[in-house]
Amino acid sequence: MADKITLGYTHLSGCTGCTVALADNYAGLLTLLDRYVDLKYMPTLADVRHVQKVDVSFVEGSCCINDKLAVEELKETREKSTVVVALGGCACYGNITRFSRGGQQNQPQHEAYLPIGDIIKVDVYIPGCAPTPQMIRNVAVMAYLLLKGTKEQKELATAFLKPLMMAAQRGTTACFCELMTEVINQGLCMGCGSCASACPVNAITHEYGKPQGERDLCIKCGACYNQCPRSWFSFDVVENYEAINEAIMAALQ
């Protein structure tokens, strides 16, 4: 189909969990591929594995700067894509690869892993470890509407994607520390509990109505910070939650 958007998937130092999350849309993934997205290259799910020219690239994993090939693939991805999406905690914030101490067989000389935003310009973040299938789905549908939709759909998609673009501009760290410095220390936390439910490793509990982080457990995925309604919140988007949810579900019918 001519009006599909083209999608690529560059796989760097990630555990394939993000790929699995994408695939966990089940029938939704097939509908996406059927109607909206032409998957140009992807190491796991497509025959073509090398970077191609595409509208949108998902990048999974952080980039090992001791590995020339990884750095080059990342730069090539940037050059050949209109929009680069950092998919998952590793690509956005380094996640567990921030703790790399090298010595990982069979490449013991690999020791420095950077979030891709430290090397190239990234347009959109999808944080989380692993990112959720629904989040990937929502961003995919919105990316389609942004590039191929009507004027109203473009406006909606812009509003929806704006916070994720701002997250990409904000920087390459977001762990419990960001929740502490950017939300709690800014007098913005009201103790709703979102961060604790978002944390994939149960590092956050609530004591006397405020989050308490176990920083030894934190894997730096950025889920708590980005799930927090006081890190970023768009009334324009969230107040229309019913219509947007319905539109996304209708797009996948």
Range in contact with other proteins (rule: CB under 8 A) among 52-60, 63-71, 146-154, 240-248: 240-248
* Cβ atoms 102, 111 nearer than 8 A: yes
Q: Compute the least distance from the CB of residue 171 to other proteins, in Å.
A: 14
> Residue 17: which of 67, 88, 74 has the closest Cα?
88
Positions 129 through 158 that interact with other proteins (CB under 8 A): 130-135, 138
Indicate which single residue of 102, 103, 171, 193 sits in contact with other proteins (rule: CB under 8 A): 193
- Give how many residues touch other proteins by CB under 8 A: 61
Please give the helix or strand (H or E) that residue 123 lies within, else none.
none
End-to-end CA distance of the chain: 18
In the complex with other proteins, the residue whose CB is nearer, 40 or 163, is 163
In the complex with other proteins, the residue whose CB is nearer, 3 or 207, is 207
Decide: is 117 part of the binding site for other proteins (CB under 8 A).
no
Range in contact with other proteins (rule: CB under 8 A) among 10-18, 104-112, 120-128, 147-155: 120-128
Residues 6+ apart with CB under 8 A from 185: none
* Cβ atoms 28, 252 nearer than 8 A: yes
Is the dihedral angle over the CA atoms 164, 167, 168, 172 positive or is it negative?
negative
Residues 6+ apart with CB under 8 A from 241: none
DSSP type of residue 131 = P
Torsion over CA of 171, 240, 189 and 125, rounded to 10 degrees? -20
Decide: is 103 part of the binding site for other proteins (CB under 8 A).
no
Positions 28 through 57 that interact with other proteins (CB under 8 A): none
Q: Which two tokens stand for residue 247?
A: 């539109």
Positions 204 through 233 that interact with other proteins (CB under 8 A): 204-206, 208-211, 221-224, 226-233
Q: Compute the least distance from the CB of residue 118 to other proteins, in Å.
A: 21
Query: Cα separations (Å) of 70 from 58, 123, 181?
Result: 15, 19, 33
Positions 168 through 187 that interact with other proteins (CB under 8 A): 182-183, 186-187
Indicate which single residue of 14, 115, 127, 213 sits in contact with other proteins (rule: CB under 8 A): 127
Burial class of residue 241 in the structure, from the number of CB atoms within 10 Å of its CB (0-12 exposed, 13-18 middle, 19+ buried)? exposed
Helix (H, G, I), strand (E, B) or coil at 150: coil
Indicate which single residue of 75, 80, 154, 162 sits in contact with other proteins (rule: CB under 8 A): 162
Q: Compute the least distance from the CB of residue 33 to other proteins, in Å.
A: 21
For binding to other proteins (CB under 8 A), which residues are involved?
A: 21, 126-128, 130-135, 138, 160, 162-164, 166, 182-183, 186-200, 204-206, 208-211, 221-224, 226-235, 237-239, 241-242, 244-245
